[in-house]
């Protein structure tokens, strides 16, 4: 079996892993080793990641990097594999690929963390095993420190254009009880990320959604925003599965509230039952690391 180095590069932490996997088996892969380091500066974080991978195994057949973005993904570009204009301090123009290519001399795959997770969920998780036209089309949306999404078509291809999608930055209508909040996105203010990501919740109410009391209005407001977004993505891509991951989605009852909000917003127009379309990750907490593996494959 081939040995793969896996990197889930997040804005708060890097999760590193190793998988020995034979794609011919068709079975879901296993993660043989795992390690976590904090995301600090590029030099410090990438050096620590290289050191752990070097200590963990003598060589790799390929390394996959599923990273926060935005990223330059055009291989013809001089800055392929670099972070571009990110709100993450110190990381604009950081070279994600170079340190690993120099250290290990193996092929490197890089894409956004959500594109990787979408591929993994479509191949092995909540988006797999469907029947019928378009049944394996999978949208993965993370709602955490930021909001981002990746979409895999029924044919297994990632949605791409001039760059990767930035689904967290769609414009949002305002909830009637949330009009005084300017939004937390440094680029767009009250886009989806600016009103529904973890930092926006803390900016409004002083703590994370899961720590707010069950009757706090923040639960209904965040579910309403996400329900609006579900309808927007259904209108544009008509995914068979919308997989909702990320720390905010760990709030008890939130996914059910999002389904209800999407049902109300859709007004019976869209194909499919939101209870079957809007689902939790089938791979649990491994969507990101297995996303890095899916990118190498």
Give domain limits for the chain: 2-116+291-296, 129-280
Pick the CATH number of 129-280 from 3.30.420.40, 3.40.640.10, 1.10.357.10, 3.30.160.340: 3.30.420.40
Q: How far is CA 140 from CA 65, 209, 271, 283, in A?
A: 17, 21, 18, 12
- The pLDDT tens digits of the residues spanning 54-86 come to 999 999 999 999 999 899 999 999 999 999 988
Q: How far apart are CA 145 and CA 171, in angstroms?
A: 18
Using CA atoms, how far residue 163 sits from 59, 123, 185, in Å, is 31, 23, 20
Mean pLDDT score across all residues of the chain: 94
Continuous H helices in 125-197: 192-196
Reply yes or no on whether the pLDDT at 133 is more than 60.
no
Q: Do domains 2-116+291-296 and 129-280 have the same CATH topology?
A: yes
pLDDT in tens, 138-195: 999 999 989 999 999 999 999 988 888 999 999 999 999 999 999 999 999 999 999 9
Helical H segments across the chain, by residue range: 42-56, 98-104, 113-124, 192-196, 198-205, 217-237, 254-266, 274-277, 287-296
Q: Are the CB atoms for 13 and 38 separated by under 8 Å?
A: yes
Peptide bond preceding 41 in cis form (omega within 30 of 0): no
**Per the structure block, which two tokens stand in for 102?**
């120099």
CA distance 257 to 224: 8
Sequence-distant (≥ 6) Cβ neighbours of residue 60 within 8 angstroms? 3, 4, 5, 53, 104, 106
Cβ atoms of residues 117 and 15 within 8 Å = no
> Is residue 203 reached through a cis peptide bond, with omega within 30 degrees of 0 on the bond before it?
no
Confidence of residue 87 (pLDDT cuts 50, 70, 90): confident
What is the mean predicted confidence (pLDDT) over 218-230?
A: 98
User: Do 296 and 67 form a contact (C-beta atoms < 8 A)?
Assistant: no
Question: Under CATH, which architecture does the 2-116+291-296 domain have?
Answer: 2-Layer Sandwich (3.30)
Beta bridge partners of 62: 4
Contact 151, 143 (CB under 8 A): no
Give the pTM.
0.93
């Amino acid at each position: 079996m081939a040995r793969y180095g896996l990197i889930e590069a997040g804005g708060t932490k890097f999760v590193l892993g190793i998988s020995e996997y034979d794609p011919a088996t068709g079975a879901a892969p296993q993660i043989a080793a795992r390690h976590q380091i904090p995301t600090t500066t590029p030099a410090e974080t990438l050096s620590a990641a290289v050191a752990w991978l070097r200590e963990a195994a003598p060589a790799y057949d390929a390394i996959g990097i599923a990273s926060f973005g935005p990223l330059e993904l055009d291989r013809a570009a001089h800055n392929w594999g670099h972070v571009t204009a990110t709100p993450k301090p110190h990381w604009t123009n950081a070279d994600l690929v170079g340190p690993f290519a120099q250290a290990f001399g193996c092929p490197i795959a890089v894409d956004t963390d959500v594109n990787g997770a979408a591929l993994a969920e479509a191949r092995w998780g909540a988006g797999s095993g469907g029947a019928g036209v378009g049944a394996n089309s999978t949208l993965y949306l993370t709602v955490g420190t930021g909001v981002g999404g990746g979409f895999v078509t029924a044919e297994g291809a990632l949605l791409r254009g001039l760059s990767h999608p930035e689904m967290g930055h769609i414009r949002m209508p305002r909830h009637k009880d949330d009009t005084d909040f300017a939004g937390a996105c440094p680029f767009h203010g009250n886009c989806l990320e600016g009103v529904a990501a973890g930092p926006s919740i803390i900016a409004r109410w002083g703590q994370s959604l899961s720590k707010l009391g069950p009757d706090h209005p923040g639960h209904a407001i965040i579910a309403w925003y996400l329900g609006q977004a579900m309808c927007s993505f259904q209108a544009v891509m008509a995914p068979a599965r919308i997989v909702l991951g990320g720390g905010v989605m760990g709030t008890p009852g939130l996914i059910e509230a999002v389904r209800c909000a999407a049902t109300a917003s859709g007004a019976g127009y869209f194909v499919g039952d939101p209870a079957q379309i809007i689902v939790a990750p089938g791979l649990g907490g491994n969507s990101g690391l297995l996303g890095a593996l899916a990118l190498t494959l």
